[in-house]
Chain A
Amino acid sequence: MGILRFILRRLMFAVVLIVGVSAIIFFLVNAIGNPVAMLAASQPNATEDSVAELTRYYHLDQPAWLRYLLWLWNLARLDFGSSITYNQPVAQMLAIWGFETLKIQIPAILLALGLAILIATIASRRQGSRLDFGVMSTALLGQSLPAFLMGVLLILVFAYWLGIFPSYGAYSTRTLLLHSSLADGLWHMVLPVAMLTFFNTATLTLLLRANMVEVLRHDYIMAARASGLPERRIIFGHALRNAIIPVLTYLGILFGLMLATAPVTETVFTWPGLGFLYINAIQQLDYPVIMGESVVIAAMLVLATLATDIAYVLIDPRIRLD
């Protein structure tokens, strides 16, 4: 029953984290300004009556602490409220925009993991060779390049010069009208996924190669060779399994923070995902959206660390949940 208690404790921690984070964000946003006033300022033909009505509707005439408690009470009932600028339920927006974010982030992480395993395995087996050196330099360079620069380069080369891939959006307007087709969606995904994959691969490869080199020096690898096992089995069954353990933490962070890191990619590619939404919501002080998304980010982080810990226990028998 250890595992259930462990999960329960983590979930309790998640609740504390979410309350804490949301309170900080709520009062920060509140201190910046009034979203309805901002909205009114941007629409010259807004009447005083409609402004007053909106103010009442969003309880902006109430003190901040009361609004926060109200928000928290609604959240406890899984009601995220509705967006001030989009006038839609926040929960529904999170689902729709969130799907677009996951659509590029998850393939980018999985693709990167596969590529990193392949590249790191080859490089570590030819440690010190020119190939190894080339791979490592590329990965180091890739890792230190500013993220948006890579995105801009991709757009420049593949969208403007070669014109193969679209430079922005998740769907073409034309196909959107005709109900978006699968191929069109995939076509738009290529550049953002490529950008994310590149960065994830660079970091994962560096980590994994270092671990592989370390693991391949171990006596149990030599012992496996001395037992006559085929090299393929030694590399994938023995070495990689050991080398990937320290990488789990980083994989957990990639999954846990993928919403938090989304704004860069989604701004570069004008991608209609949560990162894009977050930036917009902050500009508009659309606090139900900001709050809702912050809650989702915190929850993702907690879930990712929980999954990481469970993965550790499943892979490494020396580690126990306490």
Chain B
Amino acid sequence: MTAPLLDVEALSIEFQTPSRKVRPVDGVDFAIGRNQTLGLVGESGSGKTMSSLGLLRLVPRPGRIVGGRIGFDGQDLLALSEPEMAALRGRRMAMVFQNPAYSLNPLLTIGRQLGEIVAWHERLGRADAEARVADLLGLVGIADPGARLRQFPHELSGGMKQRVCIARALLCDPWLILADEPTTNLDVTIQAQILDLLRSLKERLHTAMLLVTHDMGVVARMADRITVMYAGRVCETADARTIFRAPLHPYTIALLESVPRADRAYDRGRRETLPVIGGRLPDMTHPPAGCRFHPRCPEAIAECSRVLPLATPVAPGHVVSCIRRGSASIPVAA
């Protein structure tokens, strides 16, 4: 087996303020092979966006990466200098953000703000850079790219903006695209179009993708492998097929039961609570002791609040962290 393109080990991100300490990402592992799509799933606030920003080393202050390793194409990103890291951003690893309405600079034309990126990374002149931008706008299905170059973000529809954002991520042929809920803020019909676009691009360009979403329906259509997160920790990682056919972790099972049909767009009203299990994500300042899911877990036993389950392989390519599925665990201080 060749080494994966991205190999994240025990990544931890901490927000330390004088009064409190929060770990929205706590010892997270996942890996993405070349040309592979990993779906990163979890409720709102489970640390998906923080994990993606962590990969780019762009965790907003006062947050910072406090531990772990980010292997990318054989090098540890956490060991790179800031200029080396900056040279990699947008060129080798690019990101599509959650809300297209806010992720384009309102004052610059599309041609200008996308052209600036290519020009910078590839040392191109303005005309060449804009030609490249026009090519990519065409590739993401935008009609009449030449005219779009001179338009400002507010002149585009939401779906069009997200296409522009996807084009921006693809400008320098990255090896890995981080797509953070690329469809959450779009109309249902547009969501389907954007997902189709992402899938066809991935096949044509052979780019690996981290697809962040809280929508099981989306990962069902897109992902090769799936990592389920809860309150900053990984519950389960497996092939998409395994996750849907034979999920092991109680949280994965609950997530799947909360989606009536895998191909239906997730109902936004369900973002906060899972109807099947009830309750909500714990307050991250004081996460529950032991397994963080135990206050909501239908299978919880007394021991669940006394030990922290560790991600443990249960089958080739299948990792689970639940003591009732045989995972290893460490005792927590009382």
Contact = CB atoms under 8 A, between A and B. Distances in A.
A220 B104 contact: yes
B90 A318 contact: no
B121 A223 contact: no
Nearest to B61: A127
B94 interface: yes
B165 interface: yes
B107 A233 contact: no
Residue with the highest number of chain A CB atoms closer than 10 Å, among B87, B97, B106, B154: B106
B91 A226 contact: no
Contacts of B98: 219
A182 interface: no
Nearest to A216: B60
Contact of A242 (B97, B106, B152): B106
Contact of A228 (B89, B99, B107): B89
A229 B85 CA distance: 11
A43 B17 CA distance: 74
Given A223-B165, A317-B152, A317-B154, A228 B86 contact: yes
A315 B109 CA distance: 12
A298 to B, nearest CB: 33
Interface string A68-97: 000000000000000000000000000000
Interface residues of B, number: 32
A318 B88 CA distance: 33
Interface of B: 53, 56, 58, 60, 86-91, 94-95, 97-99, 102-109, 116-117, 120-121, 152, 154, 165, 168, 171
Contacts, number: 74
Contacts of A229: 90, 116-117, 120
A241 B95 CA distance: 23
A227 B94 contact: yes
Interface residues of A, number: 21
A233 B103 CA distance: 17
A233 B90 CA distance: 15
Residue with the highest number of chain B CB atoms closer than 10 Å, among A227, A315, A316: A227
A222 interface: yes
A218 B99 CA distance: 11
Contacts of B94: 226-227
Contacts of A317: 106-107, 109, 152, 154
Given A219-B102, A222-B97, A227-B94, A242 B107 contact: yes
B235 to A, nearest CB: 27
A292 B117 CA distance: 54
Contacts of B120: 228-230, 233
A108 B184 CA distance: 49
Nearest to B101: A219
A122 interface: no
Nearest to B165: A223
